[in-house]
Amino acid sequence: MPVVIVTDSSSRLPASLRDKHAILQVPLYLTTEDGASYAEGVDEMPDDIITTPKVTTSGANLRDLQKTYGQAWELSEGDGVVAVHMSRRLSGTWSAARLAAETMEGNVRVVDSRSVGLSVGLTTMAAVQAAEKGADRDEAYEAAVRAAATAESMICVQALDNLRSSGRISAASHMLGSALSIKPILHMADGILTLRERHRTSTKAIAKMLDAAVELAEDDAVTVGVQHCQNEELAESVLEQATGRIENITSTIVVDLGDVLGTHVGPGAVGVTLGHGLDPLT
């Protein structure tokens, strides 16, 4: 078997893709005020957990990472493992992953995707596609690093309260986003979520996000992904508009942000992610 790729549940890759390409996934966690803990993608979540007060999230833990890296190493039959995780500036997952990799005698290389959500997933797929073409561990690692460096990710949220309370965005950005009910467009910059633009209505914010996506795509071959939190109808509309305006699209994907990321961005959020240089996602 070629190099085995591992990611975490922030990547939002559908189970169909993970199963087809033998991608292993470690869970992120949510904990409720009464101490109940849930592993994303493993445990059945309460339907209302995203809007439940005082829910906390945590990254992949060392135990899960060590176990999954060990499984991946065995499956690779000596070819090695590449692990793609969410930005080190947003979660402790990357630091725990480095510790886990240190126990694997150099057989695991860990990629900081410098992002979160579907951008992590597309970076993971870059490593997968390289490995399936015969790349060795280091070459697959480099493919993921290149994908992470060129990925673009934006999201429109209804309010910044969740992100501010969890420390994922600054207090200053919160003030800009809440004034006069302004709707912000956030984007990933240097591994953190920052305010890109702000508009008075969600409709205007989404239109401007699409304008930015078209500009960023340029004439490159791009994968267009749309991610959302409990807003599938709008996500499908955003994808339809994007595909009508971006010319050179290799493939498209729509995913739910899941419960961990959804807890941070809140219901209604919709975002666009662009992956450059990927083969079609199949």
Rounded Cα–Cα distance for residues 195 and 174 (Å): 9
Alpha carbon of 234 to those of 50, 249, 255: distances in Å?
19, 20, 12
Residue 1, pLDDT above cutoff 80: no
For the segment 35-47, what is each residue's pLDDT rounded down to a tens digit? 999 999 999 999 8
Residue 31 CA to its chain's centroid (Å): 20
- In this prediction, residue 53 carries a pLDDT of 86
For the segment 50-86, what is each residue's pLDDT rounded down to a tens digit? 988 889 999 999 999 999 999 999 999 999 999 999 9
The letter for the amino acid at 127 is A
Q: Considering the chain, what percentage of its residues have pLDDT values greater than 70?
A: 91
Average pLDDT over every residue of 277-281? 96
Rounded Cα–Cα distance for residues 68 and 84 (Å): 13
Alpha carbon of 197 to those of 92, 102, 157, 187, 207: distances in Å?
28, 40, 12, 9, 12
Rounded Cα–Cα distance for residues 271 and 233 (Å): 13
Res. 167 pLDDT band, cuts 50 70 90:
low
pTM of the model: 0.93
Res. 177 pLDDT band, cuts 50 70 90:
very low
Average pLDDT over every residue of 205-232? 96
Residue 173, pLDDT above cutoff 60: no
Smallest CA-to-CA distance from 264 within 30, 44, 46 is with: 30
Average pLDDT over every residue of 104-119? 96
Ramachandran assignment for 105, one of left (phi > 0), alpha (psi -120 to 50 degrees), beta (any other): left
Q: Mean pLDDT, the chain, as a whole number? A: 91
